[in-house]
Structure 1
Amino acid sequence: MIFDPVYFLFLAPAMLLAAWAQMRVKSAYAEGAQIPSSAGVTGAQAAAEVMHSEGLNRVDIEPVDGYLSDHYDPRHKVLRLSPGVYGEHSLAALGIAAHEAGHALQDAHGYGPLAIRNLLVPVAGFGSNFAWIVMIVGFFMGSMNIIIGGIALFSAVVVFQLVNLPVEFDASRRAREHLLSTGLITAQEEPVVAKVLNAAAWTYVAATLSSILTLLYFLFRSGLLGGRSE
């Protein structure tokens, strides 16, 4: 299992989808970054306006280094925006900033899937880091119980990714609706914002598919899916 060509056969569809999704994100972002918003606001200002539109005023907004490293931190109630979003006036910046503000709104309103995702973060992180190790030990020792333990660990990653999909799609929906309702973008600008957010959504789909196919590979190699555990 240290190097198994069968693994790449299982993961090939997800790898191709991930590569296509990344190309689409870069293309959509590059296009949207060249178009200034008619409202003349920055990404940080747009995020603040989206949150204020629902009375959410206790979330801080701060810059963070990195390319498209934007995220909402539910533990510290902080929305962090990358340099290409925080102070930029482009439609791409507004869309991404509003998407992250959408997560803050989900948190404020007790959106169920987000709460479940937050609970799964440490479990999924542990499973992602150690499932492979447990599986390899299980195969080395010839212990089906240890192998099943590794599969169970990685199953947490799959569950996390499945829960993450509605969270991300809902945040994008909120972003587009609030940008329009607050007048931060016009109906003519909305398709550009939608293109950026839809492209980003495919990266989450690719990640989910990758986790599912990896789990199927584990099941195949364990013999639980008709494969062989040798």
Structure 2
Amino acid sequence: MSTIWILFIAIAILGWVVQARLQSKFKKYSRIPLRNGMTGKEVAEKMLHENGIYDVQVISTRGQLTDHYNPLKKTINLSEPVYGSYSVAAAAVAAHETGHALQHAKGYGPLKMRSALVPIVSSTSKWVMWVILAGILMLQTFPGLLWIGIAMFSLTTLFSFITLPVEKNATNRALRWLSSAGITDVSNHSQAEDALRWAG
């Protein structure tokens, strides 16, 4: 029983560390302007068009690091600090999210699997901790509840493992294109790399 809790806490701490590191890197490189003066929105649109994609819309969304690609609506949702900013961080994040749009357009398998799991995992992750806790408290009367909680936890863990190659692939696509399109140069490509290192 304690092993489950240790694993649960370890994954939660790891997620927090990655998020904190990502925020730190974004803040650092958001202070460095992109030499060509392109905003995150312009970078995303250019990357889409150069890859022959014209049916995806780039829109602004509230918050910070709330950037994501929505495959159902075919929208690249860029947070306000990315959408209108012309920093190295904004270009890197915009290109990374556009990398997901490229994955979608090319039928990248792991993205399909992740997209199918998103609705289930988003609701499961809200309840998993409470179900496990209730399962421990009701172990004598309803032992099956704990196993339901473990199954839910396993699903969220599986989702994390599926997400890793998807994010890594999007980052690689972004960095290759930023370099080949001349968006980043020798002086700031390594900064874009560093900004995305913790994203995948």
Same fold (TM over 0.5): yes
- Please say if residues 124 and 154 of structure 1, whose CA atoms lie closer than 8 Å, have aligned partners that are also in contact: no
Structure number with greater CO (CA < 8 Å, separation at least 6) is 1
Q: Does 1:77 align with 2:55?
A: no
Indicate the larger mover: 12-21 or 157-166. Answer: 12-21
Q: 1:149 to 1:75 in 2, by over 3 A?
A: same
How big is the shift at 1:121? 1.0
- The AA in structure 2 aligned to 1:73 is N
Q: Does 1:44 align with 2:17?
A: no
Q: 1:14 to 1:155 in 2, by over 3 A?
A: closer
How big is the shift at 1:77? 0.3
Match of 1:159 in 2: 158
RMSD: 2.2
CA distance in 2: counterparts of 1:18 and 1:116, whole angstroms: 21
Normalised to the residue count of structure 1, the TM-score between the two structures is 0.77
Match of 2:90 in 1: 93
How big is the shift at 1:135? 3.2
CA distance in 1: counterparts of 2:28 and 2:182, whole angstroms: 21
- Please say if residues 96 and 197 of structure 1, whose CA atoms lie closer than 8 Å, have aligned partners that are also in contact: yes
Query: Structure 1, residues 125-149: CA drift from partner, whole Å, max 9, x if none?
Result: 2322333344344441523333222
Q: 1:18 to 1:119 in 2, by over 3 A?
A: closer
One of 20, 25, 28 as aligned partner of 1:28: 25
Q: 1:141 to 1:25 in 2, by over 3 A?
A: closer
Q: Secondary structure at the match of 1:199?
A: coil
One of 113, 118, 136 as aligned partner of 1:121: 118
Match of 1:66 in 2: 63
Could you say which structure has the larger radius of gyration?
1
Kindly, what percent of the aligned residue pairs are identical? 35
- The AA in structure 2 aligned to 1:79 is I
How big is the shift at 1:53? 1.4
Q: Does 1:130 align with 2:127?
A: yes
Q: Size of the alignment, in residue pairs?
A: 197
How big is the shift at 1:54? 1.1
How big is the shift at 1:200? 3.0
How big is the shift at 1:19? 4.7
- Please say if residues 124 and 156 of structure 1, whose CA atoms lie closer than 8 Å, have aligned partners that are also in contact: yes
Indicate the larger mover: 32-41 or 53-62. Answer: 32-41
Query: Structure 1, residues 143-201: CA drift from partner, whole Å, max 9, x if none?
Result: 33332222112221111111011111111111101111111111321100011101333
Q: 1:137 to 1:22 in 2, by over 3 A?
A: closer
Correspondences of 1:201-212 after superposition (within 5 Å): 201=200
Q: 1:127 to 1:175 in 2, by over 3 A?
A: same
Q: Secondary structure at the match of 2:58?
A: strand
Show structure 2 runs of 5+ residues with no match: none
- Please say if residues 95 and 178 of structure 2, whose CA atoms lie closer than 8 Å, have aligned partners that are also in contact: yes
- Please say if residues 39 and 183 of structure 1, whose CA atoms lie closer than 8 Å, have aligned partners that are also in contact: no
Normalised to the residue count of structure 2, the TM-score between the two structures is 0.88
CA distance in 2: counterparts of 1:146 and 1:27, whole angstroms: 39
